Chain A
């Protein structure tokens, strides 16, 4: 019974930053920003995504995997060894903190697919996606936190400062960071339930609830995605993967689909644009994200912030030099950038798209 699931619901705060010139920034910075919004969460989930943290292994897919049970690790590693060249395996370094009594086993792998295993038209990335789907949905007690190159996700049950201390975030430097503090209203206590959610190098942190989750999920299932995590944020990550990687749309077009303009505004567009946006809404109707949300979407080439089309969740953006910051609250930005050059609140459904310099 594929409909027999319990959907997770959560409120939240989010923050992110990007250095367009790829200047690497310590994880302590983003943790400071997120910690200011601790009260937007309830201590039952916080997490961070970082890009550019593994320059020595940038050719390899970096898998961060959590295990609830040791046996799951055996299954996964056997499976990985059959399908990948494994460059390096290590437990993710952590520091014991009193707030975390028990934690899952956390291991990272730097791997590359074995050439003869990659078949089909989708190439290497489709192969990796299928591996992630398989581990998440078929191997009990194993869950892939992240699977992109030169990036990784650190998340768990705890408030923002606890999670950053536990994962020793101050030891990482990245040129894009996103972070999230979570206020789950059910399924507490599962590390995999924290944000960010990822697939390949796509990562999502999200505030709000996707009221259209039901149809977004069924739409993605048509394309072979397995939605095993019971949270609406997962659909966002997969929608970006579908629209950008598999359908080849650009980020802006993907955003037009997810937070589509209203018909009455489409009617006012010039004929070409009207035809295009109408086609997008017709074709991708089931991908419309409806309900309150603001989200940050990180990927290997940049950072995107967007909120829903009637702006039911907050998002503030700011710039300083080559840095762009986005957060649920201006104060979270000022905590790490006290005097920005420009501060603004993006309009409903209008994405802030930041791309790394070449």
Chain B
């Protein structure tokens, strides 16, 4: 375990230290006393585990391609922007615009997430990104979603209480959203179909949630104990009548 004390360190100096450690072959790096430094693990590649103690700043893990980042507290906005591969585990809550254009890898969040989470997530070839949030989400969850899987659990909410905001999946044209709680069609984008989950969905959910529970010390059975709704796009071209040629 390679430790770096981030206290009062400017982000450029801190990131340089992290990159130097990765370049020298460190596989397990712990950042202590982080508070607000931007761009941690941004553009980082390869197999390395980074543990962050404290609240990392914005644009964590942007363009990241491979590493695993473990955050022990809350995290801020713009995480996993255009991320390609790797994994982010957040033990607290996280902010707005998470996983924008995310193409691969996983993000597991224990707590709540903000607005525009999973916005324009997309899969390509064998890549399929996953975001799982344990709490509630704000508006525009899965906006423009084009691929991958978004799961929202509402673990700390009573059954039947709403756990996701308005404009759910608006502009969605690919991928799947699972919501462990009620979903009202009037809060969904026009392109979204809401349906019950079947046995195949259960398999998919179990596969993703098994790993999620292991990462965050949760009980899979408990998590699976409530019904999920499944949201998928019902038209890949919902705006066909919009233009005059």
Instruction: Tell me, yes or no, whether A and B come into direct contact in the complex with CB atoms closer than 8 A.
Output: yes
Give A residues with C-beta under 8 Å from B: 36-37, 39, 265, 310-311, 314, 316, 329-332, 334-335, 343, 345, 347-348
Q: Offer 28 A-B interface pairs, CB within 8 angstroms, sorted by A.
A: A39-B38, A265-B166, A310-B139, A310-B140, A311-B114, A311-B138, A314-B95, A329-B36, A329-B57, A329-B77, A330-B36, A330-B74, A330-B95, A331-B35, A331-B55, A331-B56, A331-B76, A334-B36, A334-B54, A334-B55, A335-B36, A343-B93, A345-B95, A345-B114, A347-B138, A347-B165, A348-B115, A348-B138
Question: Is B58 interfacial (CB-CB < 8 Å)?
Answer: yes
- A-side contacts of B38, CB under 8 Å: 39
- B-side contacts of A310, CB under 8 Å: 115, 139-140
- B-side contacts of A348, CB under 8 Å: 115, 138-139
Cα–Cα distance between A314 and B140 once the two chains are bound (Å): 15
Q: Which chain B residues numbered 81 to 120 have a C-beta less than 8 Å away from chain A?
A: 93, 95-96, 112, 114-115
Chain B, residue nearest A268 (CB): B186
- B-side contacts of A347, CB under 8 Å: 138, 165
Cα–Cα distance between A166 and B74 once the two chains are bound (Å): 34
Q: How large is the interface on B (under 10, 10 to 19, 20 to 34, 35 or more residues)?
A: 20 to 34
- B-side contacts of A332, CB under 8 Å: 36
A320 to chain B, nearest CB (A): 15
Chain B, residue nearest A330 (CB): B55
Cα–Cα distance between A345 and B57 once the two chains are bound (Å): 15
- Residues 137-166 of B, flagged 1 when their CB comes within 8 A of A and 0 if not, give 011100000000000000000000000011
- A-side contacts of B96, CB under 8 Å: 311, 314, 345
Cα–Cα distance between A311 and B115 once the two chains are bound (Å): 7
A152 to chain B, nearest CB (A): 28
Check A330/B76 contact, CB under 8 A, given A36-B35, A348-B139: yes
- 13 other A-B residue contacts (CB within 8 Å) besides A36-B35, A329-B57: A36-B36, A37-B36, A265-B166, A311-B96, A311-B114, A311-B139, A314-B77, A316-B95, A331-B35, A331-B57, A332-B36, A343-B93, A348-B138
Cα–Cα distance between A329 and B56 once the two chains are bound (Å): 10
- A-side contacts of B95, CB under 8 Å: 314, 316, 330, 345
Check A329/B76 contact, CB under 8 A, given A36-B36, A310-B139, A334-B55: yes
Cα–Cα distance between A314 and B75 once the two chains are bound (Å): 13
- B-side contacts of A314, CB under 8 Å: 76-77, 95-96
A211 to chain B, nearest CB (A): 18
Cα–Cα distance between A310 and B165 once the two chains are bound (Å): 11
Check A329/B139 contact, CB under 8 A, given A39-B38, A335-B36: no
B31 to chain A, nearest CB (A): 13
Cα–Cα distance between A70 and B114 once the two chains are bound (Å): 50
B79 to chain A, nearest CB (A): 13
- A-side contacts of B140, CB under 8 Å: 310
Chain B, residue nearest A343 (CB): B74
Check A329/B74 contact, CB under 8 A, given A311-B139, A314-B95: no
B70 to chain A, nearest CB (A): 18
A258 to chain B, nearest CB (A): 19
- A-side contacts of B115, CB under 8 Å: 310-311, 348
A341 to chain B, nearest CB (A): 14
Cα–Cα distance between A109 and B54 once the two chains are bound (Å): 44
Cα–Cα distance between A347 and B113 once the two chains are bound (Å): 11
B139 touches A335 (CB 8 A): no
- B-side contacts of A343, CB under 8 Å: 74, 93
Cα–Cα distance between A335 and B33 once the two chains are bound (Å): 11
A226 to chain B, nearest CB (A): 36
Cα–Cα distance between A347 and B38 once the two chains are bound (Å): 24
Cα–Cα distance between A82 and B201 once the two chains are bound (Å): 79
Q: Which chain B residues numbered 8 to 53 have a C-beta less than 8 Å away from chain A?
A: 11, 35-36, 38
Cα–Cα distance between A331 and B36 once the two chains are bound (Å): 5
Cα–Cα distance between A36 and B55 once the two chains are bound (Å): 12
- Residues 156-178 of B, flagged 1 when their CB comes within 8 A of A and 0 if not, give 00000000011000000000000
Q: Which chain B residues numbered 165 to 211 have a C-beta less than 8 Å away from chain A?
A: 165-166
Cα–Cα distance between A331 and B55 once the two chains are bound (Å): 6
- A-side contacts of B166, CB under 8 Å: 265
Residue of A311, A329, A330, A332 most packed against chain B (CB within 10 A): A330
Cα–Cα distance between A348 and B139 once the two chains are bound (Å): 9
Cα–Cα distance between A332 and B36 once the two chains are bound (Å): 7
- B-side contacts of A316, CB under 8 Å: 95
A335 touches B35 (CB 8 A): yes
Cα–Cα distance between A37 and B38 once the two chains are bound (Å): 10
- A-side contacts of B114, CB under 8 Å: 311, 345
- A-side contacts of B36, CB under 8 Å: 36-37, 329-332, 334-335
A317 to chain B, nearest CB (A): 13
B166 to chain A, nearest CB (A): 8
A40 to chain B, nearest CB (A): 9
B161 to chain A, nearest CB (A): 15
Cα–Cα distance between A287 and B166 once the two chains are bound (Å): 24
A309 to chain B, nearest CB (A): 10
Which 8 pairs between the two chains have the least Cβ-Cβ distance?
Answer: A331-B36, A311-B115, A331-B35, A331-B55, A36-B36, A345-B114, A330-B55, A334-B35
Chain A, residue nearest B77 (CB): A314
- A-side contacts of B74, CB under 8 Å: 330, 343
Cα–Cα distance between A265 and B54 once the two chains are bound (Å): 38
Cα–Cα distance between A331 and B95 once the two chains are bound (Å): 12
A172 to chain B, nearest CB (A): 24
- B-side contacts of A330, CB under 8 Å: 36, 55, 74, 76, 95
